[in-house]
Structure 1
């Protein structure tokens, strides 16, 4: 998935049809003399140039992939100047970089048995990068799940699976300056991405044992022993023009090259024509002359920092597109106005960032022992049925409608609705009646038959009798969080759960442990958001991610939830090969839903406004999705 918009087609005609008016000569003729005159020659007329005007809040500083900055404007620029990696029959982006998608069936993905020894870097059975020593748990060669993992004794010969992926370049590809695309461009890109000076985690680079040329058209990715993955697109580094740099070029010298913000070579449908402080001109790359891939003769990207000014320019036709940098999804009134504009279309894409309502299942004070008599918070969430009941009380649909102008998408688990393996029957639904039954089964009672007062614990294991179900909900001070608080409070109140909102500045709420409320595990409920992880998001709630003194309070499992079967299922999904992924994900989702350490809420959408007449072309241009239903 990528970006979303709808645009108006702006056509600029450049005509150079100039004819000179010359005086007709006369000649003296005799009766026997005849004069012939050549027919006039028409001056050719240039073809009209269609121009797409995109408005953005700011331009990127550079088009260099590895400078540590990745704003929306840069993402959009790279989409237009790069090619797709894998070939798709329905793609309108021209030829892909690869001749075929590597699979296990076509031999593009293979496993080889690699000998490993003490002190080598390997990936263990949990998916972590470790130095091999006695006691490390690994999957021996041929073992494809945690069930057959072993603890290495430090002496026996050890063989681990090593994943190899073969990427075959398509024939005849060239850069916009005419230089052929070669495997060296791929290796050059990887070398820069893995340079120690390159900003970022280098998560996949660190799990790569080799990225080498097998031939003039084939690059081989070889993984660190023990590491396997279904995400093969992350094993391919977008090529960079190695012919423009010296063989010993480093990240420091390449990143400082001024051509990255001028006219660097392109592989995509467009190339940079001109780049100034407040505008960027893209022209067709004639080495990628597919008209479907480049429906506009020229794309002008213009900076208008202020949203109100940009909306005025969109209204008067100066802008055909308002890109994601304006964050239209945050402005309910603007979205409503654009939705009623007959000349405008909104293209919406769901990102991989998502929000959730996290349970404080096991506070840090429980780590040594739990005793509410001596001040420990009552164990409100230790019973999974209570967490399920709260999910059944919560009006997630109302939250979805309240935030981002109703454009967000509910998540069924730790993956999106598009990726989930859960059936509709297995997904969360609002069911206050069943929630009440679950709470009663746990031991909560409506002691005064008054729905406006919280329930009391009568027979709840581990909670003193007559304890009221009164909890705090911790949120930051953002407008988004404040929109959600009231819905959570009223939804849970209908089920006899009293919720008191506690609003804190984000830097205080997300402060590191042990002092911080979230990462110090000192909360009841918390509304939090996560950006996508480097691995599958089930890892958020693995047991080894519980922040504690043992890991210097660094971890994402702020709920304190621990479930061995879930850990195994998540590890299997994280290390699954493509043909293993669906089954592994299905098992991980099932364990997540049975334990429910958090209630998944919604993804964060990105919105682009486009003139209706250009919607389909722009949708294809940025690959927002084939047959996007937003386009008329």
Structure 2
């Protein structure tokens, strides 16, 4: 079977379709006034290349857009191009060494200037500058170069045959930046361009009027948006901050807001809110996983700020007996029950979805306190002075466990602390405002990227239905450090040569069954070697006002992917 036949055989990888937009709600642009959106984790930037935080990526998706998106079914859709390139239509080369995107003629930026291939090429250069610390660097890992034969043609050349070419410039995590606006913001200057990062010029349905970091974003309808009569809303009030419970109540009980994101709340709290009758919850399962990341470097405060979480190894967390004991001590079914109910499932995997990529090789569904103790005993960790804390070679098992401020996460922290202390650890808890924790600010000591703790807990996911780029996150080259502005997807600082080699094999493998096998093997390798402790496969749950139409929850891209189609019902 030749590579063309193999590539076309994978419907899951190459599902393409024409974009579908809401019908029957035509009218003038801005006819429905204002829509109010509430993200209780406040955005800290409108540049998704400077933050891996979902809140920042999704806020930015109102303004900046990729060449292609993934719809609510996970199907890739043309967005700023005429069609999705494939081998069949000639857009992907027979040897799988390049993909050619044809930009839709006549597209303009919100400032009225033409959108061209030069902007796409610039975005590649911006994200791959080694001093820039691009938070989405794994998406460009397979790319050798980007060429622009003419103003409407983009040719992405790969380092080697690349069966899945839809990583760079596809999905909300990889949008296009305007070259004219950002050309002086490459490399080390990226984080200093406050005006550009807060007020990007885009092709999306809205433009930024005012950005108040970690607070409020006000936006207006883009007068140059490519679809007549869209968006229906003239203004967006995008409020950040507070907590998930207040956000849910603001939509479902008081009606103050039209949309509330990520209602990470106990099931009984959601049920009570729904009795308010003013809003509706929407839920879907994608690859979102609540996990505990294990620091592979030393976060000791006695080290300098540029040495913490850089110097290897961690005093004890890379010992298999330690990280396996930590995992064994956790009662995941109880966490699901108290935290998510039907919106959660036990998972042992980094990638629990799509189902074709969900490994069954790992087992973690049963808590085993005694088994955890035995692992530590056999490895020589003992409590020699009777203070309840084990030690070995003079190093005590003391950990700082941090996460974002959220009722469910604090409940999880308390339970996990009790279980870990039962097997001989001393655990200090810390919670940080989500706006700061997920903010990606290179100057802050409190971000997930800095990781000035032993373990940290949060959820993460990826765009689309193929995990290649996501599984590229743990590559040795993606570790955050002072040299790359503390950006990079490899937050645990995991580094394993065998993993890097296997990921490279995935990137050049075409057969769907083989891609699935390799992806599962990467998943198992990462988890089994202490990259992270998966906890809960989370459903994405948000809420919208009953008066808000056009909402389609999307677990494969930005939740705000089709905001141009939202409209007010009955007005």
TM-score for both structures, normalised by structure 2 = 0.57
> Displacement of 1:380 after TM fit?
12
**Correspondence for 1:401:** 337
**Correspondence for 2:506:** 573
**Correspondence for 1:586:** 520
Distance in structure 2 (CA, Å) of the matches to 1:539 and 1:259: 26
Distance in structure 1 (CA, Å) of the matches to 2:169 and 2:29: 42
Q: 1:164 aligns with which of 98, 105, 120?
A: 98
**Correspondence for 2:219:** 280
SS in 2 for 1:617: coil
Q: 2:68 aligns with which of 75, 82, 85?
A: 85
Q: Deviations over 1:246-292 (max 9, x none)?
A: 9x95338999797987895x534x24396587632326756313x7x
C-alpha RMSD of matched pairs (Å): 6.4
Q: 1:321 aligns with which of 259, 268, 280?
A: 259
Gaps of 5+ in 2: 1-26, 297-315, 391-396, 438-448, 463-467, 482-487, 564-571
Q: Is the contact made by 1:231 and 1:578 (CA closer than 8 Å) also made in structure 2?
A: no
Distance in structure 1 (CA, Å) of the matches to 2:547 and 2:207: 25
1:276–1:108 distance in 2 versus 1, CA, 3 Å: closer
**Correspondence for 2:149:** 214
Q: 1:601 aligns with which of 523, 532, 535?
A: 535
Distance in structure 2 (CA, Å) of the matches to 1:339 and 1:52: 24
Distance in structure 2 (CA, Å) of the matches to 1:89 and 1:431: 33
SS in 2 for 1:400: helix
SS in 1 for 2:427: strand
Distance in structure 1 (CA, Å) of the matches to 2:288 and 2:247: 30
Q: Deviations over 1:190-245 (max 9, x none)?
A: 4554567856368366864421113443211124x469584633256644556xx4
Distance in structure 2 (CA, Å) of the matches to 1:505 and 1:86: 37
Q: Is the contact made by 1:51 and 1:299 (CA closer than 8 Å) also made in structure 2?
A: yes
Distance in structure 1 (CA, Å) of the matches to 2:401 and 2:196: 42
2:276 matches 1:341: yes
Q: Deviations over 1:313-346 (max 9, x none)?
A: 8745442223x4xx74268886454343322223
1:202–1:174 distance in 2 versus 1, CA, 3 Å: closer
Q: Is the contact made by 2:499 and 2:525 (CA closer than 8 Å) also made in structure 1?
A: yes
Distance in structure 2 (CA, Å) of the matches to 1:101 and 1:612: 35
2:396 matches 1:414: no
1:506–1:392 distance in 2 versus 1, CA, 3 Å: closer
1:55–1:359 distance in 2 versus 1, CA, 3 Å: closer
> Displacement of 1:565 after TM fit?
6.4
Q: Deviations over 1:545-580 (max 9, x none)?
A: 9x9xxxxxx997979997x86665445336656855
Distance in structure 2 (CA, Å) of the matches to 1:356 and 1:561: 17
SS in 2 for 1:572: helix
Q: Is the contact made by 1:573 and 1:585 (CA closer than 8 Å) also made in structure 2?
A: yes
1:310-459 paired onto structure 2 within 5 Å: 311=249, 315-322=253-260, 324=261, 328-329=263-264, 335=270, 337-347=272-282, 354-356=290-292, 394-403=330-339, 407=343, 410-418=346-354, 421-422=357-358, 426-431=361-366
> Displacement of 1:431 after TM fit?
4.1
> Displacement of 1:399 after TM fit?
1.6
2:112 matches 1:183: no
Give the total of aligned pairs: 468
**Correspondence for 1:10:** none
Q: Deviations over 1:528-559 (max 9, x none)?
A: 558679954476498999x9xxxxxx997979
2:162 matches 1:234: no
Q: Is the contact made by 2:64 and 2:203 (CA closer than 8 Å) also made in structure 1?
A: yes
2:427 matches 1:502: yes
1:168–1:86 distance in 2 versus 1, CA, 3 Å: farther
1:49–1:73 distance in 2 versus 1, CA, 3 Å: farther
SS in 1 for 2:357: coil
Distance in structure 2 (CA, Å) of the matches to 1:73 and 1:426: 34
**Correspondence for 2:237:** 302
1:539–1:575 distance in 2 versus 1, CA, 3 Å: farther
2:411 matches 1:483: yes
SS in 1 for 2:68: coil
Distance in structure 2 (CA, Å) of the matches to 1:194 and 1:316: 46
Q: Is the contact made by 2:43 and 2:240 (CA closer than 8 Å) also made in structure 1?
A: no
1:526–1:229 distance in 2 versus 1, CA, 3 Å: farther
Distance in structure 2 (CA, Å) of the matches to 1:184 and 1:543: 27
Distance in structure 1 (CA, Å) of the matches to 2:380 and 2:165: 44
SS in 1 for 2:337: helix
**Correspondence for 2:568:** none
1:456–1:164 distance in 2 versus 1, CA, 3 Å: closer
Distance in structure 2 (CA, Å) of the matches to 1:85 and 1:187: 15
SS in 1 for 2:36: strand
SS in 1 for 2:548: helix
Distance in structure 2 (CA, Å) of the matches to 1:94 and 1:263: 23
Distance in structure 1 (CA, Å) of the matches to 2:112 and 2:490: 48
Q: Deviations over 1:331-387 (max 9, x none)?
A: 888645434332222345767574237599xxxxxxxxxxxxxxxxxx999788x97
**Correspondence for 1:53:** 35
Q: Is the contact made by 2:37 and 2:258 (CA closer than 8 Å) also made in structure 1?
A: yes
Q: Deviations over 1:469-496 (max 9, x none)?
A: 9855734265666533554477689xxx
> Displacement of 1:623 after TM fit?
3.9
> Displacement of 1:182 after TM fit?
3.4
**Correspondence for 1:611:** 545
> Displacement of 1:504 after TM fit?
5.5
1:473–1:574 distance in 2 versus 1, CA, 3 Å: farther
**Correspondence for 1:250:** 184
**Correspondence for 2:442:** none
> Displacement of 1:312 after TM fit?
5.4
Distance in structure 1 (CA, Å) of the matches to 2:91 and 2:550: 34
**Correspondence for 2:23:** none
SS in 2 for 1:503: strand
2:67 matches 1:96: no
